[in-house]
Each structure stands twice: as C-alpha cells, then as structure tokens.
C-alpha cells in the first residue's frame, strides 16, 4: 500500500461558497464569463476523430516547452461514434503540435499494446531538455481484455524520446508504463467500478505535476473521491509528493480540497505557483453538483493558499473563476491553464442554447464539436480571479 503522511487539514469547498454565485452583482458575473464561441471560428476537425481533454508538454517550472515556436500537446481522442458520450470507452492519447492558431496531428502518442488498461485518459507531461526525454503522467482506465469497459482508474507514468521538426512531433522508445502510486484506500476511494456513467463515476485520475519553487519538491495533483464519506457526492482533489529526483517514488498525502456533499467531480486539477501564492484550479459541471444543494455553471473553479499544502480559500469567495455564458452553458469544458494564465479547453456543444436535447444521442452527435476551443486568459490579484481577455482563435 502506498504510504500516507499527514499534512495540513483538508480545505472545504462548501455549499455556502457556491450559493453565493447567484448573488454576485451582474457586473462581476460578466467578468467571470468566458467569451461566447462562434462555431464557425473553430479549427478544422480531424476527419472522423473526436478530440477533447488536452494538455501541453511543460518545462519543470510549469512553462510550456517550445520547439521553433511550436508547442507539443497531448489530446484525448477517439473515432467519432454515433453518441459522442461513448468516446470515453475507447479513448487514446493523441500527439499534436500548435503554433499561431494552427494545429498539426501527429498520431497516437503511445504505441498499440503499451497501455496496461483498456483506455488512456487525461494527465500531464514533463519535458527533460538535458536528455531529450518526455515523462507522461496519465490515467490508465479499465483493464486489458475486458469484455465491457469498466471505470477502474490508476495513475501511471512512462518516458520516451521526443523529436520535433517543423511542427511534426514523435516520441519513440517509450518505457514500460509503471504505476506512479496507488490509492491508499483510506483518504481516497479505490476506484474499480465495473459500471458507470460519465459525470457520476468516482475518481482517481488526471495526474498533474507541479514543482514547488520554494524547495524544488515535485508533486502530483489528481481528481479523487473521499473514502471517509457517507455522501453520494464526495469529490476531492488529491496530492502526492515525489521522494526522489527520478520521480519514481511518491508519498500520497491527504486531500488538498474536499467538496463532500456538494459535488462529485473536481476534474483536471492543477496548481500554479505565482507571486508567492499557490493557485489551485479545476473544472466541473452543473450536472455533477448534489441535487439537494446549490450548483454552479460549467466552468473553471479555483482556490488560493500561501503554502502548497494549504489551507486554501475559494477565489472570489465562491470558487468560480470562469463560466460558460448563460446563453451557451455547454460550449466548452476541461481547461488547462498554463504559466501565462492562458486557458485551453475543448469545444463541447458551442452555440447551443439552454434546453437543448442533451439527453439524446443523435442530438449530441449533431452538435458536438470535439476540437480545441478558442483560448482566453485568466487574471489574478490576490484572492480574486477573472476572465481578462480572449487570446486568439484556437
């Protein structure tokens, strides 16, 4: 079993924080609203392929690695099925490059048969310029050879050699994936579900690395579910600390943040050390808030602390940082925020007004964009955060 050590008390994200969103002045709500997406402005889709969660190859300090101006990205992908919700059952990580609004597809990041599960889910990636190596931290979903896709989730890492020439990237000689660390089955649920539905499964996924500039220690954040909870909605954000420079030994710590009784999924968590503070961000959706409590819009949420292990307090007093417009509440989701505070998400159902037939598979297929969304930038000032501006069309 992975060792657990004590740290600061887990910080709660509470119902009263979320309830305060509705009471925000209209002018402040406007500052927390992501620009509306014009579907016609989106980059061309990959023929027959859906794209969603994406993350860049990063330097150890959190900045995005560049190769003659090109950034290298890892993107969840799947063949376009009649129901786009089914994409999670066949997800593979794709390698892509980006520069000045142009995306280039470089095929699957990992070779066939390398993954010790049935699907590849989201994570993060670290560049080692001294060796030309990439470490990919990612979620292994399911088990090899399973007849039906399960929702088991494990955190793995693998290392390969990167080449990038004129915007075409390739990674060779991947090492055998190794489990970074397992659930302690004490603070965090051991996620081995056989059945489930997107949005309502439990979590042990989305590993995101971060280096603490104060002491150089490396951590991994992840989406978790609280073990010591009687609530059906028991999301948390977990953390583990590296025990060696090779990043092959990890100590799992108690959760940074708990949404117990409030929310079921605090997805794609990441930490940005900035101006002597630690800014923690995650994505969530209105549908995964507990039905007997307050809910917030689909968007980016966050907290801030003076120490990497907390305690954390909600940004803007509510946790809401950036929301989809009320007129198009499902336009985008699952954002990554880089060191420059640029938010990269995927276009989900852009241009769709409230009341769409989101429960109908054919309707979802007709409206699902499945490609990178336009970029925008977050602004931070102490315990406040807001949408500063659009950056470019993605």
Three-state SS annotation for 108-142:
ECCCCCCCCCCEEEEEEEEEECCCCEEEEEEEEEC
**Whether pLDDT at 245 is above 60:** yes
Percent of the chain at pLDDT > 90 equals: 91
Contact 221, 279 (CB under 8 A): no
Using the 8-state DSSP alphabet, how is residue 357 labeled? Answer: -
Give φ, ψ of 242 to 5 degrees. Answer: -70, 140
- Adjacent-strand bridge partners of 146: none
Percent of the chain at pLDDT > 70 equals: 95
Contact 153, 223 (CB under 8 A): no
**Whether pLDDT at 41 is above 90:** no
Mean pLDDT of 310-327: 98
H-helix or E-strand containing 389?
strand 384-392
User: What pLDDT sits at residue 9?
Assistant: 80
User: What pLDDT sits at residue 1?
Assistant: 41
Mean pLDDT of 153-165: 97
**Whether pLDDT at 358 is above 90:** no
359, two tokens: 């429960």
Mean pLDDT of 305-327: 97
User: What pLDDT sits at residue 6?
Assistant: 52
Using the 8-state DSSP alphabet, how is residue 39 labeled? Answer: G
DSSP class per residue in 228-274: S---S-EEEEEEEEESSTTS--EEEEEEEEEEETTBS--EEEEEEEE
35, two tokens: 């620009």
**Whether pLDDT at 18 is above 60:** yes
| Dist CA 278 CA 145 (whole Å) | 41
Helix segments in 318-367, DSSP class H: 361-367
**Whether pLDDT at 64 is above 70:** yes
**Whether pLDDT at 391 is above 90:** no
**Position 361 confidence tier, pLDDT thresholds 50, 70, 90:** very high
Mean pLDDT of 243-264: 97
Mean pLDDT of 10-20: 98
Min mean pLDDT across 32-36, 156-160, 198-202, 380-384 is at: 198-202
| Dist CA 188 CA 26 (whole Å) | 38
**Position 218 confidence tier, pLDDT thresholds 50, 70, 90:** very high
**Whether pLDDT at 392 is above 90:** no
- Does this model's pTM top 0.85? My answer is yes
Min mean pLDDT across 228-242, 295-309, 350-364 is at: 350-364
Model pLDDT for residues 363-373, shown as the tens digit of each residue: 999 999 999 99
When the pLDDT of each residue in the chain is averaged and rounded to a whole number, the result is: 94
Contact 315, 308 (CB under 8 A): no
CATH number belonging to domain 11-392: 2.115.10.20
Contact 312, 280 (CB under 8 A): yes
> What are the structural domain ranges in the chain?
11-392
User: What pLDDT sits at residue 2?
Assistant: 53
């Amino acid at each position: 079993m992975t060792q657990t050590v004590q740290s600061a008390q887990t910080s709660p994200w509470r119902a009263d924080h979320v309830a305060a969103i509705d009471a925000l002045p209209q002018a402040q709500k406007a500052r927390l609203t992501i620009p509306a997406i014009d579907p016609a402005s989106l980059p061309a889709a990959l023929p027959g392929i859906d794209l969603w969660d994406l993350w860049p190859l990063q330097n150890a300090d959190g900045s995005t690695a560049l190769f003659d101006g090109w950034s290298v990205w890892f993107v969840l992908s799947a063949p376009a099925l009649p129901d786009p919700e089914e994409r999670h059952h066949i997800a593979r990580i794709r390698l892509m490059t980006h520069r000045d609004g142009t995306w280039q597809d470089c095929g699957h990041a990992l070779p066939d048969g390398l993954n010790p599960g049935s699907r590849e889910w989201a994570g993060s990636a670290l560049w080692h310029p001294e060796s030309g190596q990439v470490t990919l931290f990612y979620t292994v979903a399911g088990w090899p050879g399973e007849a039906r896709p399960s929702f088991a989730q494990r955190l793995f890492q693998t290392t390969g050699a990167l080449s990038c020439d004129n915007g075409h990237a390739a990674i060779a000689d991947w090492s055998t994936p190794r489990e970074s660390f397992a659930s302690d089955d004490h603070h965090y649920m051991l996620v081995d579900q056989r059945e489930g539905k997107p949005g309502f499964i439990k979590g042990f996924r989305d590993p995101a690395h971060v280096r603490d500039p104060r002491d150089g220690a490396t951590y991994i954040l992840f989406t978790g579910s609280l073990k010591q909870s009687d609530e059906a909605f028991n999301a948390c954000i977990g953390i583990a600390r590296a025990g060696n420079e090779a990043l092959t030994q990890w100590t799992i710590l108690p959760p940074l943040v708990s949404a117990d009784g409030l929310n079921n999924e605090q997805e794609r968590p990441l930490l940005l050390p900035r101006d002597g503070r630690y800014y923690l961000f995650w994505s969530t959706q209105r549908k995964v808030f507990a039905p007997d409590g307050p809910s917030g819009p689909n968007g980016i949420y966050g907290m801030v602390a003076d120490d990497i292990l907390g305690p954390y307090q909600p940004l803007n007093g509510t946790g809401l940082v950036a929301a989809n417009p009320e007129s198009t509440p499902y336009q985008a989701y699952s954002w990554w925020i880089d060191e420059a505070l640029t938010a990269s998400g995927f276009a989900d159902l852009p241009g769709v007004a409230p009341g769409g037939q989101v429960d109908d598979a054919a309707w979802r297929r007709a409206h699902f964009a499945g490609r990178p969304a336009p970029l925008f930038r977050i602004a931070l000032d102490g315990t406040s955060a807001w949408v500063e501006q659009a950056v470019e069309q993605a």
